[in-house]
Structure 1
Amino acid sequence: MNIQLPFQVGDTISYTKTISESDVYLFAGITGDFSQMHMNEEFMKNTPYKTRIAHGVLVFALGSTASTLIQVQARSEMPSVSYGYDRLRFTNPVFFGDTLTAHYTIIQIDEENLKSYAKVEVYNQKGELCVVAQHILKFFTVDK
């Protein structure tokens, strides 16, 4: 059975969002992560950052949005799930009010195992890389 995945190497999409204080507080409420790094402005004044920072996982989640958007862009009818992320790194802090752009680029297709691999990069408005990872999507055939 020869099944072709809906992507080609080099396919890409971007997603942009400004991170607000509300985003951080809502994320803290959902996850239960109320670290001083995210919640306590006075505490953070005494750190190298000088102000609160967004959760790394919140920033990283923008890459997941891009993953969904690239499937919409490809008009993919094949169901897929996230198979995981490799080499995830938080390379720069994200501050409240930063505008982030997540770039999602297909770097490898494994048609035998029905997987695609993508480079995920999230940059701030200054062009600084804040998050990097490799994402794996696992596709499934549909019985008709």
Structure 2
Amino acid sequence: MLADDLRGKPPTTTDWFTLDAARVQAFADATEDWQMIHLDDARAAAETPFGGAVAHGFLTLSMLSAMSYQVVGTLPGVASSVNYGFDRIRFISPVRVGKRIRGVFTVASVDEPEGALDVHWDVIIEIEDQDRPALAANWITRFFLED
């Protein structure tokens, strides 16, 4: 029943998340990626085609974790879940520091291995007030079912 419910789930759009300078700095510190393109707005404006500092692509991708809680919530009959990986990730547009992003999640398919469900999500991360998204991905979540 749960697999059929997921297969029929309409696309879900999350709340907006701000990729402000503090979040970008924290991500830079966690990953030791301190490129000026992410942390020095004036220099990034002068030396890159982006017009200022941009968030790390992997920070944008990592926000899928926070977004997914809004999409999945608590599913009946599920004991736990894990990130099972990606079949595809494409970084389409950079996200300027200070911009807001949100996810649009669509169930692409559901596999049913023994004791679990593998949900393949087609995900687009939109950038507020921009036509082109930040990224598109096919992300797999494995849900372990209760006995």
- Other-structure match for 1:75: 75
- Other-structure match for 2:102: 101
Gaps of 5+ in 1: none
SS of the residue corresponding to residue 7 of structure 2 reads coil
SS of the residue corresponding to residue 33 of structure 1 reads coil
Q: 1:37 to 1:105 in 2, by over 3 A?
A: same
**More displaced, 41-50 or 93-102?**
41-50
1:22-48 superposed Cα distances (whole Å, 9 cap, x missing partner): 110111111111112112234311211
Q: Which runs of 4+ in 1 moved over 4 A?
A: none
AA aligned opposite 1:14 = T
- Other-structure match for 1:8: 7
The structure whose residues are more often helix, as a share, is 2
- The TM-score with structure 2 as length reference comes to 0.83
SS of the residue corresponding to residue 127 of structure 1 reads coil
1:88-139 superposed Cα distances (whole Å, 9 cap, x missing partner): 1110010012111111111111124521110111011123211111011112
Among 134, 142, 146, which residue is 1:138 paired with?
A: 142
Separation in structure 1 between the aligned mates of residue 103 and residue 49 of structure 2, nearest angstrom: 25
Separation in structure 2 between the aligned mates of residue 9 and residue 133 of structure 1, nearest angstrom: 20
Q: Aligned-residue CA RMSD in angstroms?
A: 2.0
Among 118, 124, 127, which residue is 2:127 paired with?
A: 124
Report deviation, 1:77: 4.3
Could you tell me the percent identity over the aligned residues? Answer: 26
**More displaced, 117-126 or 32-41?**
32-41
Report deviation, 1:8: 2.4
Contact 1:108 1:118 in 2 (8 A): yes
Gaps of 5+ in 2: none
**More displaced, 125-134 or 58-67?**
58-67
Contact 2:41 2:53 in 1 (8 A): yes
- Other-structure match for 2:34: 34
1:21-77 superposed Cα distances (whole Å, 9 cap, x missing partner): 1110111111111112112234311211131110001111222222222221x5344
Separation in structure 1 between the aligned mates of residue 146 and residue 77 of structure 2, nearest angstrom: 9
- For these two proteins, the number of residue pairs brought into alignment is 140
